[in-house]
């Protein structure tokens, strides 16, 4: 009996060792700076521009609609409810993006070949909606297998951030953001990044520099501090060179002046809100301007499916622009978290 137990234990240990070796060898290891992936070289306009309209939206990989929860946020689900639900969400996301009719789209959590979304290429589908937009993709989550949760494993993941531009872009670069989890978690976890694109402005030698970001949501907050420091150095450098700088995306942090109670009471337990931290007031450089709609929440918690008044809703998606840019309009679009756990935000800007 003891011998049989030792054999079984040896087999289990051996399988665990083989699995850990496999995910370590297969780990996605991006360079600090890489060219972005060209999804589509569209019929974009080669024009120097003095104003832009932009949309930022975390589309939740078309797998986090209003009837879904997520295991890492206090729920139980690792994958979407069904492939039919994914297709329905993609249809709603596509319709919303087309309705918003923007020069530039800054999107997060876009799957390309992930088990959880039936391996559909969401980047390609979205790009095909806009024949006159170039499309660039930067992966931030690549793993051959994510075995968590055991009851509903996520499986293979190929996901990232996507920027579409109606104007010809001179640069499309993936910048690796600092901060990694410890081994072995890091082998199957996100590698956060910023996607930089550039559009020529009407000022000779000066560009619109657009940074698409999705900061970390988990951990003790130290990685987010590192990432904010990295972004601050980058955006100040570009601004000091004279460029018009826009950072847009999912900051996974409350904006200055925003509180958890911004939109009223909620029943989400505090232990599921440890990820929701505020951007320090002192972090924002002098003259830089935040752009978000104080009246419309952009994110809801995923501890349960969405019920107004129960899930906490908050403001973590929006833009930060340099002092030489005028914010002409900002609108949060409240679509009730129907197709994603986030709502989109649109903005219009011009050169001061």
> What CATH number is attached to the domain comprising 345?
3.60.10.10
Asked if 265 and 236 sit in the same domain, the reply is yes
**Residues 6 or more apart whose Cβ sits within 8 Å of residue 300:** 306, 311, 312, 313, 314, 337, 341, 342
**What pLDDT, on a 0 to 100 scale, did the predictor assign at position 254?**
97
Q: Is 221 left (phi over 0), alpha (psi -120 to 50) or beta?
A: left
Please give the model's pTM, rounded to 2 decimal places. 0.96
**What pLDDT, on a 0 to 100 scale, did the predictor assign at position 27?**
93
- pLDDT interval class at 120 (50, 70, 90): very high
Asked if 173 and 26 sit in the same domain, the reply is no
Asked if 36 and 6 sit in the same domain, the reply is no
Asked if 17 and 147 sit in the same domain, the reply is no
Asked if 248 and 274 sit in the same domain, the reply is yes
Pairwise pLDDT comparison (18 vs 37), residue with the higher score: 37
Pairwise pLDDT comparison (179 vs 287), residue with the higher score: 287
pLDDT at 4 over 90: no
* pLDDT, mean over the chain: 94
Per-residue model confidence as pLDDT tens digits over 280-324: 989 999 999 999 999 999 999 999 999 999 999 999 999 999 999
- pLDDT interval class at 10 (50, 70, 90): confident
- pLDDT interval class at 107 (50, 70, 90): very high
Asked if 19 and 133 sit in the same domain, the reply is no
Q: What percent of the chain has pLDDT over 90?
A: 85
pLDDT at 162 over 70: yes
Asked if 200 and 102 sit in the same domain, the reply is yes
**What pLDDT, on a 0 to 100 scale, did the predictor assign at position 2?**
72
**What pLDDT, on a 0 to 100 scale, did the predictor assign at position 16?**
81
Q: How many domains does the chain have?
A: 2
Strand partners, 176: 193
pLDDT at 337 over 90: yes
- pLDDT interval class at 5 (50, 70, 90): confident
pLDDT at 111 over 70: yes
Asked if 175 and 309 sit in the same domain, the reply is yes
Q: How large is the average pLDDT for residues 68-87? A: 96
Per-residue model confidence as pLDDT tens digits over 137-152: 999 999 999 999 999 9
Asked if 157 and 268 sit in the same domain, the reply is yes
**What pLDDT, on a 0 to 100 scale, did the predictor assign at position 220?**
80
Per-residue model confidence as pLDDT tens digits over 203-251: 999 999 999 999 998 878 899 999 999 999 999 999 999 999 999 999 9
Per-residue model confidence as pLDDT tens digits over 251-275: 999 999 999 999 999 999 999 998 9
**What pLDDT, on a 0 to 100 scale, did the predictor assign at position 239?**
98
Asked if 15 and 150 sit in the same domain, the reply is no
Q: How large is the average pLDDT for residues 71-92? A: 96
**What pLDDT, on a 0 to 100 scale, did the predictor assign at position 8?**
65
Which residues form the domain of 341? 32-351
Asked if 1 and 123 sit in the same domain, the reply is no
Asked if 115 and 23 sit in the same domain, the reply is no
């Amino acid at each position: 009996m003891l011998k049989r137990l030792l054999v079984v234990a040896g087999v289990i240990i051996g399988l665990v060792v083989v699995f850990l070796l496999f995910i370590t060898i297969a780990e996605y290891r991006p360079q600090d700076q890489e060219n972005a992936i060209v999804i589509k070289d569209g019929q974009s306009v080669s024009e120097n521009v003095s104003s832009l309209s932009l949309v930022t939206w975390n589309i939740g990989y078309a797998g986090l609609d209003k009837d879904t929860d997520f295991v890492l946020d206090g729920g139980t689900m690792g994958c979407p409810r069904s492939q039919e639900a994914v297709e329905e969400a993609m249809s709603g996301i596509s319709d919303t993006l087309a309705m918003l009719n923007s020069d530039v789209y800054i999107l997060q959590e876009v799957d390309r070949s992930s088990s959880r979304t039936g391996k559909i290429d969401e980047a390609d589908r979205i790009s095909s909606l806009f024949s006159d937009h170039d499309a660039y993709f930067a992966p931030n989550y690549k793993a051959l297998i994510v075995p968590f949760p055991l009851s509903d494993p996520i499986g293979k993941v190929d996901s990232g951030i996507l920027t579409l531009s109606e104007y010809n872009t001179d640069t499309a670069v993936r910048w690796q953001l600092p901060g990694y989890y410890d081994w072995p978690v890091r082998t199957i976890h996100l590698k956060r990044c910023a996607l930089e694109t550039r559009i020529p402005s009407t000022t000779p030698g000066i560009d619109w520099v657009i940074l698409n970001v999705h900061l970390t949501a988990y951990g003790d907050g130290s990685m987010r501090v590192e990432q904010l420091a990295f972004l601050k150095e980058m955006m100040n450098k570009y601004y000091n060179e004279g460029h018009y700088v826009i950072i847009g995306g999912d900051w996974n942090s409350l904006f200055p002046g925003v509180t958890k109670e911004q939109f009223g009471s909620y029943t989400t337990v505090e232990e599921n809100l440890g990820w929701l931290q505020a951007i320090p007031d002192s972090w924002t450089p002098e003259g830089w301007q935040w752009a978000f709609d104080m009246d419309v929440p952009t994110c809801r918690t995923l501890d349960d499916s969405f019920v107004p008044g129960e899930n906490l809703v908050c403001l973590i998606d929006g833009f930060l622009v340099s002092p030489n840019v005028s914010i002409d309009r900002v609108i949060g679009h409240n679509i009730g978290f129907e197709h994603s756990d986030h709502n989109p935000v649109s903005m219009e800007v011009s050169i001061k």
